[in-house]
Every structure is written in C-alpha cells, then in structure tokens.
Amino acid sequence: MRNQRIRRAIIPAAGLGTRMLPISRAVPKEMLPIVDMPAISHLVKEAVDSGIEEILIITNREKGAIEDFFDYSPEYDARLTAGGKDTIVSQLHGICDQANVYFLRQKEAKGLGHAIGRARSFVGDEPFVVLYGDDIIFSEVPVCRQLIDTYEKYGRPVVGVKPVPMEQVRKYCSLKVEHIENNAYFCDDMIEKPAPGKEFSNLSILGRVLLEPSIFDLIDNLAPGAGGEIQLTDAMAMVARQSGVTALEFEGTRYDLGSKLGFLMANVVKGIDHPEVGADFRAYLKEFVKEL
Ligand code: UTP
C-alpha cells in the first residue's frame, strides 16, 4: 500500500503524427476535434477527474495551438462578452483553470522515451502518470484513476493494457505476464514492436502508465530501439525485469486519435450522445446505414 499521493501527469504530444497526414502538417493531431473539443482536452479532463493537479504537456515548435487552447484569449473573450455571451466565456475559462497546465518543448522527435526524459525536473521525486497524447479512452472510472488505485494496492509501477489481435501486437508492445487476480497481472518483461515469433502475449500497453522517478536514469542511458527511437517501453522493460510492474487490464474503450479510423470512430461514439446534435446525428446515422 503506497501513501504518496499522485499529483502529476505528463502528456507527451510532440510526435510527428505521420499517420494523420496531410492534416497533421498544419494541425497538431492532439487538436483534432472529437465533435467540438480537441482530443487532448479529454486527456486533461481524465487526469483532473483522477485527482491530478499538475499536468505537463510535451509539445514541439509546430504545436502552439495546444498552448493557445489552454490559455485565455482576451480579444476573443471581449467580443463574446460584448455580444452578451459571458456564460460561454466562463465555460472557456473553466477549461483553462481546471488544473495547472505547463508546457515543455521536445526539441527533436527522438521517441516517446526521449520525450518523457525531458520531464525529470517537473516530476521531482514523486510517482507520476503518463497519458499518451493520441490515446483517448472513454470509461466509467477514469483510466488514470484505475491505475492510481492499482498502484496504491500493489505498490509497483502500473501499465494499462488490453488484449490486441495477435497479428497487431507487432505494432505495439507485448508483455510477459502472470495473472494475479481479477484484471491485474504481474509483468516481469516486455518487448516493443516484437518481430513475429518474439511476442510474449497479446497484452499490449495502450496509452496509460504510472511510473516512479527511477525511470529517468534508465531513459538517460537508453540506446535507440525499435524504429531508431528512444523507446519508453525499453526503460519500462528494465523495471519489469528488475522488480516487476503491475499490468492492469483497464475498463474502457480506447480510440487511437493518431489514426484516421480511430478519429472517425471516436467522433461517431461521442457524436450520438452530444447534448446539442446527438439526437439529430443518431437519426441521420440510422438512415445512412440503411444504404451501406
Ligand atoms: P506515436 O508513435 O503514436 O506518435 O507516439 P507519432 O510519432 O506522432 O506517430 P506517427 O508519426 O503517426 O506514427 C505515442 C505518443 O508519444 C508522443 C506522441 O505525440 C504520442 O502522443 N511522442 C512520440 C512524443 O511526444 N515525442 C516523440 O518523439 C514521439
């Protein structure tokens, strides 16, 4: 049982987003909308709803739109206020004020591990969660909270996992696990983007991990791994082999907003329940699918 409260989260959002080209050349993929909210705002909300107070978003020089979204816009707000839309201004400010959001630029896209390595001084000596910037997960209990509860129970770093079709494991990572109880597993090894035949299992890390600060020394000494990138999985594999991590098969449905299909699916799922347009969109879809 760990008593140290988890207050900090990192959202790496400095990837190139090549799977979302051409749009990602001009619009950061993390700013693509799920109906009317940028994808990354769902991650910030998930962290806040999980009790996180301090959030570091890792960006790069092309992703200024993310910083703008979490900032006040005095000129725009003044025009809304002049038009009698003060309530909307309060709602927009609420998005900015829900947590302390900080930004740091990764100067070169050298991989997810390299991006997390930039956050050492933000984290200090506390455990922290990482929400991968393009993985949106809709769930009853926020997935960050599920990981924090698991950390408090088992006292080891936690990785959020799901089974993926075996032929797709090589696009993600593969974990060596033993079942503990319910949806928790003990993991003592993992491999990033395994070649066929090198898989441990069909359990892959999807979008959320909870790490301890000892990870930073491991990241600093990593050689480039799969795809020539500094891979966070390689550092987590060392932790798993040294002392083990808990793999939690989290409750929730994950959408990969870094892929065209995931983007479309997330918009349909949120669109049909949207308070303004949900009913009309649902009716439209019912008619539309009849012609498919
Ligand atoms: P991905 O591999 O999904 O992102 O990284 P990518 O590199 O943008 O994807 P492609 O180009 O479409 O294949 C997982 C997360 O790590 C971040 C990404 O922004 C994403 O949230 N990341 C990746 C960084 O912050 N820096 C990097 O150097 C690489």
Q: Say if strands 135-138 and 8-12 run parallel, antiparallel, or are unpaired.
A: unpaired
Q: Which residue has the tokens 């994950």?
A: 254
Phi-psi region of 155 (alpha: psi -120 to 50; beta: other; left: phi over 0): left
β-strand partners of 182: none
* Per-residue 3-state assignment (H helix, E strand, C coil) for the chain: CCCCCCCEEEEECCCCCHHHCCHHHCCCHHHCEECCEEHHHHHHHHHHHCCCCEEEEEECCCCHHHHHHCCCCHHHHHHHHHCCCHHHHHHHHHHHHCCEEEEEECCCCCCHHHHHHCCHHHHCCCCEEEECCCEEEECCCCHHHHHHHHHHHHCCCEEEEEECCHHHHHHCEEEEEEEEECCEEEEEEEEECCCCCCCCCCEEEEEEEEECCCHHHHHHCCCCCHHHCCCHHHHHHHHHHHHCEEEEECCCEEEECCCHHHHHHHHHHHHCCCCCCHHHHHHHHHHHHHCC
In the chain, domain spans:
8-271
Q: What is the pTM of this model?
A: 0.96
Which atom of ligand 1 lies closest to the CA of 108? 28
* pLDDT score, position 5: 87
For ligand 1, is residue 12 a contact (CB within 6 Å)?
yes
β-strand partners of 32: none
Which atom of ligand 1 lies closest to the CA of 259? 12
The predicted-structure confidence for 89-141, as pLDDT tens digits, reads as follows 999 999 999 899 999 999 999 999 999 999 999 999 999 999 999 999 999 99
Give residue 103's identity as a one-letter amino acid code: F
* Distance (Å) from CA 178 to ligand 1 centroid: 29
Mean local confidence (pLDDT), 65-85: 94
The per-residue pLDDT of the chain, averaged, comes to 96
* pLDDT score, position 3: 61
Give residue 28's identity as a one-letter amino acid code: P
Fold exhibited by the domain 8-271 = Spore Coat Polysaccharide Biosynthesis Protein SpsA; Chain A (3.90.550)
Mean local confidence (pLDDT), 190-194: 96
Q: What is the best residue among 134, 233, 261 to mutate for testing ligand 1's pocket, by most ligand atoms within 8 Å of CB?
A: 134
For ligand 1, is residue 207 a contact (CB within 6 Å)?
no
Give, using CA atoms, the residue closest to atom 21 of ligand 1.
133
Mean local confidence (pLDDT), 68-93: 93
For ligand 1, is residue 262 a contact (CB within 6 Å)?
no
* pLDDT score, position 4: 75
